[in-house]
Every structure is written in structure tokens, then in C-alpha cells.
Amino acid sequence: MDDDLKNTSVKGFWWKRFFYSVTGATNDFELGPNWFASVMGTGIIANAAASLPLLSDQLHGFALVVWCLASCMLIGLVLATCVQLLQGKSVWGKHFSDPMMAQFYGAPPMAILTIAGGTLLLGDHVVGLALAHEIAWALWGAGTITGLAFAIIIPYRLFTKFKVRPDSAFGGWLMPVVSPMVSATIGAMLVPYAPVGVLRETMFYLCFSMFGLSLVAALIIISMIWSRLAHHGTSGTSRVPTLWIVLGPLGQSMTAAGILGTVAKGALPSQLAHGFELFAVLYSVPIFGFVFLWTCLATLLTLRARRRQMKFALTYWAFTFPVGTCVTGIAQLAHHTALPMFKWASILYYLGLLIAWVVAAFGTTKGMVKGHLFRPPPSSGSPIVSVKEPIN
């Protein structure tokens, strides 16, 4: 460590001095919005465990611990981001102008909403039922407002500012538009706690509107990703894990449809409520089929990239949250149909989620210890290019 760095670290905060002394990182310490994907990927483990149609009681203690860990991670990232903003060294502005990194502005709202869902499912054991509900409402409001804002702003900038190539469509484009779907899910969980009457009914339809907002936008982007893969292939870089984000709007929409179908009875007239309950099954079963297809395709493409020495990046967290939404979505199908096939499918996806979390957490911890994850990536003059293998 050179003298300039030592002098800088002495003048900095104690945690920064400790960080420099342990990791040997340089002064270009960076925390962008993409870091909040780790909160999403950790929090969904707790939410999924509490939602499983099998073993949820046995996993309650584990889920509670993970929810506490994810909550601490969220608080830590928010505080670290505030410190950077006060020091004028935040990379958020730079990411906002980058056509790839700007997409991850959808991560902070979804991280907040994930913790809100865990607070509803598990928080009463820590802070009491009344306070858990108040915290959940506050987090849902904050996550929904910021999520809707980024769902408008980031696509607008993509349409008017960002220069993209024909092969630029990637899973990250889904991040801003998936956030309202998470709001629809957590909001549906809050519907029974809204005042009876017009307010509860309005809350229900607001959630279903966000379901549609996110679903239509996601289907358009998924089509573009499929087209890019068909015409240009994959890059083989650390962008490949973002293909798993496609599962996010699919699994989350199944979850939202299922919960909305359940809570409709207490929010709407009986005839309409029955229709929403029926919709939960009619919508989710076909989506489950495509979830299986995309899981297979994403697995094959990921293994192909790994054979080509794909390096670790924070994009590995894309393996976690989207798979977790499939767990909760399939669990809702099991709730509405009581079929063993869906019960065991949710368990299978949950095991995949745990494996994915271990891989992402290990790589992140290793990168934090070495310090390179806190530094900006080296600039490259050439963009990421998708290529196909030649036919023998």
C-alpha cells in the first residue's frame, strides 16, 4: 500500500481503514445498484422456504435466520451507499449513463420489496405482528414508488439515449420492468390488511394492474432476448448468467397470480373473486411449462460458458432470485391444485436455489476479500459481442 493510499485511509471512516488494511483494495472503492441483487438473492431463500408446500415448518428457523441476514445486508448496503454519496464518490451516476449497468437500477427496489415480503411472512417472530405489518407497508411503499419510477425512466433512456447494438438485448433489460411484478406480489399479500371496502378493492386492482404492466413489458423483452440468441448467439462472458433473469418475471407472475387469486375472496364480489382464483391456475400452468423449457436452455448455455472459462461477476446473483420466484410460483400452483407434482417441483427448484446461492455467495466473498469486486471494471474499447460456433 503506497503512502497516498495510507494517508487517504487514515482520513477516511474507520470501516474504510479496516477494509483497506484487510483487503489491500485501492481508493476507487465502488458500490453500485447491482450490489442489491445479493439482498434479493438472499432474501428470496427465506421467502421461498416460508412458502414451500412441504417442509416449510421444518425450515422456519432457517428462514428466519436468512431473513435477518438479508435485512442486515440491505441496511448495510443502504448505509454504505449513503456514505459514498456524502463523499461524492458514488458510481450510481456513472451507472445511470451506462446502457448495461443502468438496467440494474431495478435491483434496489426489488431488494426492498423482498425484505418486505419476508417481514410479512417471518418478521412477527422478531418485532411483533403489528410492527411487522407497519414495516412491511413502509417497505412496500418505498419499493413500489422507486420501482415504478425506474420502470419508466430506464426504458425511456434506453429508447432515447443509450446506443445499443443489434445483439445488445440481455436479461438485464428485464430488471427495471420486473420490479412492479414484485410489488404486485407483496401488495397482494398486504391486501387482507387493507381497510375493507373501496380501499381494499383499489389495492387489489392496483396490484393486478402492476402485474399486467410488468408482464407485457417482460414478454416483449423475452422475445427480443430469444431473437438475439437465435440470430447472434451468446457472448460466453459473465453476461450469460443474466439469461436466468428471464425466469424472474415468469416465476414472479405465477406467484402474484396465485396470491391474488387467494386474496380476491376478501376484496371483490364473489363472482369476480372466483374468476381470479380460476385465472391463477389457467395462467400459471402454461407458464410453468415455459419455466421448465427456459431452465433447461439457460442451464445448457451457462455450462457452455463455463467450459469457455466464464469469469465470476456479480451477475452470478442472477442464478438466485429468479429461481426463487419459480419456487414461490410453483408453490402457489401446489396450493391451488394440491398436486404432488407441483409440490415436489417446488422442492427441486428450492434445492437449485440453495446451490446457486452458495456459488454466488462464495464468489462474492472471495471477490470482496481480494478487493477486485469493489473496483470499477477495466475499461474496454470493444463492446460485448455475441457469436455462434461454426457448424462442422
Whether the CB-CB separation of 171 and 107 falls below 8 Å is answered with no
The grid cell for 376 is 470499477
pLDDT score of 379: 47
22-26, 45-49, 335-339 — which is least confidently predicted? 22-26
Q: Does domain 30-368 have CATH number 3.20.20.70?
A: no
pLDDT score of 367: 84
Whether the CB-CB separation of 268 and 260 falls below 8 Å is answered with no
pLDDT score of 172: 94
Of residues 331, 325, 174, 146, the one with CA closest to residue 253: 325
pLDDT score of 238: 82
For the stretch 142-164, pLDDT in tens is: 999 999 999 999 999 999 999 99
What percentage of the chain has pLDDT greater than the value 70?
Answer: 87
Which amino acid appears at position 99 of this protein? Answer: P
DSSP 258: H
- pTM of the full structure: 0.89
DSSP 389: P
The span from the CA of 392 to the CA of 388, in Å, is: 12
Tell whether the torsion through CA atoms of 347, 350, 354 and 359 is positive or negative: positive
End-to-end CA distance of the chain: 51
Alpha helical stretches, state H, 88-243: 92-96, 107-122, 124-127, 129-160, 175-190, 198-232
For the stretch 257-306, pLDDT in tens is: 999 999 999 999 999 999 999 999 999 999 999 999 999 999 999 999 98
pLDDT score of 70: 97
pLDDT score of 368: 83
Of residues 182, 150, 191, 195, the one with CA closest to residue 248: 182
Say which residue the cell 438473492 belongs to.
41
Of residues 102, 38, 48, the one with CA closest to residue 74: 38
Q: How many C-beta atoms lie closer than 10 Å to residue 163's C-beta?
A: 7
For the stretch 32-63, pLDDT in tens is: 899 999 999 999 999 999 999 998 999 999 99
DSSP 101: G
What is the number of alpha carbons within 13 Å of residue 41 lying toward its C-beta? Answer: 25
DSSP 98: S
pLDDT score of 138: 98
All structural domains of the chain with their residue ranges: 30-368
For the stretch 203-256, pLDDT in tens is: 999 999 999 999 999 999 999 999 999 999 887 788 899 999 999 999 999 999
Say which residue the cell 489491500 belongs to.
24
Q: Name the band, by pLDDT with cuts 50, 70 and 90, for residue 380.
A: very low
